[in-house]
Amino acid sequence: MKKVVIGMSGGVDSSVAAYLLKEQGYEVVGLFMRNWDTSINNDILGNPYLNNDICTQEQDYNDALKVCEELNIPLHRINFVKEYWDYVFTYFLDELKRGRTPNPDIMCNKYIKFDSFVKEAIKLGADYIATGHYAIIENGKLLRGIDNNKDQTYFLSQLSNKQLENVLFPVGNLEKHEVREIATKMHLNTAEKKDSTGICFIGERNFKEFLSNYLPHQPGKIVNIENNEILGVHVGLMYYTIGQRKGLEIGGSAEKIYVVGKNLKDNILYVANGEDNEYLFSDQALIEDVNWISKEHPLKCSAKFRYRQQDQAVELEYIDDKHIMVKYNRGKSVTPGQACVFYLGDECLGGGTIKEIYKDNTKLWYL
């Protein structure tokens, strides 16, 4: 009997994935990853976080434990707090300091879930590892999950072919409602548990309040880029992303105002009126740290510049092994620091990080 070590998050997706694996005849072992500890991380930082730690990890562990008891499979708990700090949270802070919008979930997959986790799974004698990701592996290719609204290949785009060997995604061929139906039918305690959103170490905290413990506020001007009018004061460029509307400290405006750029040198946040304002659009992006999962390196394909955005037709100009200039038609809110992920039909080819944005051959966003 082949042994599968599955990452148990305490959510419904990994719960049903574990059930399906057991039904398929595998010897299933659960492994819960503890990635955040407020007291330990404050010791590393040397700056105590005084508010109560309200991260839901302990509840998640208890939910995972109960599911494993219901399925009669063992659950191990492993501490990746230091690894998470070194490879995910440090990256997160560094990107924010640069004025960029990071994607820690992608780094967590690359360095924790499909690296540190795999090493521990091997110690437990795993023939395969599994997660509750909505994705499919077929003939060595990484394909989108059946459920378009839940497909998570975007977050797997920095993995290598090696990391995807001997990996199982049991819920990739299911719609989300089917996953919940299975959980309800099997009376799993996570059947109606709300999906987690945001970043685990932030949880339900106020983002600005949490982040201020690591990156002090740096107030500066909010300026309308169209007429150079000063509209207000921001608390720090790291709290804002291109295309953002909510959370701007601006009063009395009858129009919708969006973030369109940042000036790090002068600490200015640029905004403009209207969701279709031309300052929100670009037509080229320089992509760095490109990682290829597929052997296919096409000249034309589609790309996602953010997880929830629709695919966009793109043309690729290869600069070197790690840099590509991506050309497209009126891309909205394409943002430095975010991932650009390439697709050929349903196959996820790989991706990289957006470094620079251009419109009419002029660099944008003033980073």
The owner of tokens 């010897």 is 27
Burial 198-219 (b: 16+ CB within 10 A, else e): ebbbbbebeeeebbebbeeeee
The owner of tokens 């670009």 is 282
Strands annotated E in 191-311: 220-224, 230-234, 257-263, 268-273, 281-292, 300-304
Q: Is there a catalytic annotation at residue 340?
A: no
The owner of tokens 């994607």 is 103
Identify the CA nearest to 36 among candidates 21, 24, 53. 53
**How many CB atoms are closer than 10 A to CB 312?**
17
Identify the CA nearest to 219 among candidates 238, 233, 239, 240. 233
Identify the CA nearest to 141 among candidates 120, 116, 104, 167. 167
Marked catalytic residue, from 108, 301, 340, 348: 108
Report the alpha-carbon distance of residue 294 to residue 140 in Å, rounded.
9
Report the alpha-carbon distance of residue 132 to residue 122 in Å, rounded.
19
**How many CB atoms are closer than 10 A to CB 4?**
26
Q: 3-state class of 79 per DSSP?
A: strand
Marked catalytic residue, from 55, 68, 200, 348: 200
Q: Is there a catalytic annotation at residue 55?
A: no
Report the alpha-carbon distance of residue 291 to residue 142 in Å, rounded.
13
Burial 320-354 (b: 16+ CB within 10 A, else e): eeeebebebeebbbbbbbbbbbbbeeebbbbbbbb
Mind spelling out the 3-state secondary structure of 324-366? EEEEEEEEECCCCCCEEEEEECCEEEEEEEEEEEEECCEECCC
* Residues marked as catalytic: 108, 200
